[in-house]
Structure 1
Amino acid sequence: MWVEGTTNGTYLRRSMKTASWERATVLARVIEDSDNASKTPERKDEPVTIVKAVTEYLADAKARELADATLYKLETQLRKQFLGWCKAEGYKFLTEFDLRAAQSFRASWTDGGLAKKKKQERLTGFFWFCIRAGWLTANPTDRLGRISVTQAPTDYFTRGEYEKLLDATYLYREGRGETIGGINGTRIRALIMLMRWSGLRIRDAVTLEKTRLINDNLLLYQAKTGTPVYVPLPPQVAEALRTLPDGVKPNPRYFFWSGNGLPKSAVADWQRSFRRVFKLAGLEKPDGSAKRCFPHMLRDTFAVEMLLAGVPIDQVSMLLGHASVKITEKHYSPWVKARQDQLAASVRNAWGFLGGTSPLSPKRGKTKLVLIQA
């Protein structure tokens, strides 16, 4: 009798040196058992470390072409804060991180309510990535309680306050660092006017390319349909951009940016200058207290003035570059009252045309006609 087959990955054909089928069968089983015993047991995959998971998640985020600002936030929260906390608390593998660990990590955050909410959303997204990768079967952040955020509505600049901001730029004297960066009263005045009348965010305004100004129209962005979205600028604003003096390190491509370094650093320089302008303007609330001012309020001013002027909210949403009208409604709900005040005034003005009388006027008696012969 002969045995033929594959053992330990090698083809085998051997004589059993017996004519007995039963004896040959027993010998074949002995060879199989010996082969199985000689094999190295399959090594089970070790649990994935938190460091590896974070590294692959950040690499995937970069491959998805996320915005630089988003990548920076993910890098800061996960690689610096999350990994640092896990190392200090002794967590090495993903499977060790449970709900209690998530609660403890969240308790270490010292940010405001809105920032905490965003952090929790990013952490949840990270663990969903781990589940899709097959490293976890459940998301440890699923049962985390929601963070309640009472967000104070962002204010905007009235027309009088906007004029005070422009006046303050004539009193502006740049500091040493700003002289190096080429920030002066004329340039920051042009930036204020641009943001107020275009609705651009400060980052988009600072990095605005000169080719996007066509006559008095500013190209905001390219819609998904391929249609360009423009916003007309007042002639004095467009002229201020065309005649803008160069900074210390001018770049023919940009209005306000040298093109060197990161846009984030350039924005930080301009934000410091904005704080000085706001201080010079000395804006106050109706109760006499100082009004907190931020560059983003110029974008809010653009949106609110458009709404008060009767521009449909879907068109305002398009000008702001929002993905949905619901986003516009959410962010500018604080100005519903302002729009209501305008509507109320319009209704009062219309009272005189409703039946020819105002509801506040005395009731009229019966009409009596008198015929007069000419």
Structure 2
Amino acid sequence: MRSRQRHFTNSVETWKTLYPASSTRREAQQRIRQFLRFLHDDGYLQRLPRLSPIKVDQPPTMPLDDKQYKALLGAIPKAFEHDGLVRRMCAVVRLMRHSGLAISDAVTLKRDSLVFDKKNAHRVVTSRQQTGTHVSVLIPADVAKELLSVANGNAEYVFWDNRGGQKKTVVKDYQKDFRRLFLAGLGNFASHSLRDTFSVDLLQRGVSLEEVSKLLGHSSTKVTEKHYAPWIKGRQDRLDSFMLPIVSGKKSAA
């Protein structure tokens, strides 16, 4: 039994080459757990082997500055030849930048999620697929107009086209498009950088962590703080008020 477990452990080590993403490695391990439990429940295994959990690496927070964001938009016509896809990519990039939606929520956005409310303002009203949390975010009027003008042959969804009928297929297609776009425009960035840009911009403008957490649809402010603590303006200003007298050699007021 021990030799088999060592063999399995050695096999798992090769997953880092086969599956560069830690989330994919964890998913593969979960499927193996399910299979082993099936063998155990049917009497093929006397006991379940103990598998160390695979920790999913958190992607670094990588907001875009204004120059990078403009470069990304400018790279879209160069990265894609089809005019319809160019327009959709421009619209989805601007949507994610100004709403903070994750790619899975943005590319499966329903047309009736775009609301013109009583305040004469445009907003996105939806629920996050990952957490189920309700999200309501105001967006610029020109972004809303661009979204409403997207033509893809689907009356229900903004970005859904004929490439696939399942949500997973649509999301995967757009993930490929984003990888192609970032390679053409910026290199080492990902679609999540647009969500980071939205969040960091608000925090640096003094919007509270709690409010940003609500706009992002996080299940807890702890999640928001984990990713964006260095950009919380009020907290940084307070830290600076303590540190400035120290580095300047002056005594701070009690």
TM-score (norm 2): 0.71
Bigger Rg, structure 1 or 2? 1
Q: Is the 8 A contact 2:97 2:197 kept in 1?
A: yes
Q: Give the match for residue 183 of structure 1.
A: 85
**Secondary structure, aligned partner of 2:85:** coil
> Could you list the runs of 5+ residues in structure 1 that have no partner in the other structure?
1-94, 284-290, 364-374
The change in CA–CA distance for 1:188 and 1:119 in structure 2 (over 3 A counts) is: same
Provide the rounded CA distance (Å) in 2 between the counterparts of 1:129 and 1:320.
Answer: 38
| Structure 1 residue 195 corresponds to structure 2 residue 96 | yes
Kindly provide the CA deviation profile for residues 137-161 of structure 1, in whole angstroms up to 9, marking residues without a partner as x: 6321x2x445577656242212332
Amino-acid identity (%): 33
Are 2:110 and 1:209 equivalent residues in the alignment? yes
With over 3 angstroms needed to count, the CA separation of the structure-2 counterparts of 1:276 and 1:122, relative to structure 1, is: closer
Paired residue for 1:242? 148
Give CA deviations for 1:73-95 in whole Å, capped at 9, x if unaligned. Answer: xxxxxxxxxxxxxxxxxxxxxx9
Decide which structure has greater helix share: 2
Structure 2 CA distance for aligned equivalents of residues 121 and 227 of structure 1: 25
Name the structure, 1 or 2, with higher relative contact order (CA <8 Å, separation 6+): 2
Which amino acid is the alignment partner of residue 28 of structure 2?
Answer: K
AA in 2 matched with 1:243: S
> Are 1:162 and 2:69 counterparts?
yes
Give the match for residue 111 of structure 1. 19
Q: Give the CA deviation at 1:256.
A: 1.1
Which amino acid is the alignment partner of residue 112 of structure 1? P
Summarize the alignment of residues 267-282 of structure 1 with structure 2, pairs less than 5 Å apart: 267-281=171-185
- Are residues 1:138 and 2:42 paired? no
Deviation at 1:292, TM superposition (A): 0.5
* Secondary structure at 1:252 match in 2: coil
Instruction: Give the alignment of 1:86-101 within 5 angstroms.
Output: 99-101=5-7
Structure 1 contact 113–147 (Cα < 8 Å) conserved:
no
2:170 is aligned to: 266
Query: Taking structure 1 as reference, are residues 317 and 265 closer, same or farther at Cα in structure 2, changes over 3 Å only?
Result: same
Matched with 1:22 is none
Q: Look up the match of 2:119.
A: none
- 1:74 — aligned with what? none
Offset of residue 360 of structure 1: 4.8
Between Structure 1 and Structure 2, how many residues are aligned?
A: 239
Q: Is the contact made by 1:217 and 1:233 (CA closer than 8 Å) also made in structure 2?
A: yes
Question: In structure 2, how many angstroms separate the alpha carbons of the residues matched to 1:203 and 1:150?
Answer: 19
Q: In the alignment, which residue of structure 2 is the partner of 1:313?
A: 209
User: Per-residue deviation at 1:209?
Assistant: 0.9
- Cα shift readout 1:205-249 (whole Å, capped 9, x = no counterpart): 1221101111111112189xx9953111122211211233x13xx
Give the whole-Å Cα distance in 1 for the aligned partners of 2:237 and 2:25. 41
- CA RMSD of superposed structures (Å): 4.1
Confirm whether residue 221 of structure 1 aligns to residue 127 of structure 2: yes
Name the residue aligned to 1:288. Answer: none
Contact 2:19–2:25 under 8 Å retained in 1: yes
Task: Tell me the alpha carbon deviations over residues 114-173 of structure 1, each in whole angstroms, 9 at most, x when there is no partner.
Answer: 243443344335545666x46456321x2x44557765624221233223222334x446
> 5+ residue gaps in structure 2?
117-121
Conserved? CA contact 1:220–1:319, under 8 Å: no
Contact 1:229–1:319 under 8 Å retained in 2: yes
SS at match of 1:327: helix
* Residue of structure 2 in register with 1:337 after alignment: 230
1:298 to 194, 215, 231: 194
- Cα deviation, residue 257, structure 1: 0.8
Give the 3-state SS of the residue equivalent to 1:336 in structure 2.
Answer: helix
Partner of 1:232: 138
TM-score w.r.t. structure 1 length?
Answer: 0.51
> What is the match of residue 124 of structure 1?
33
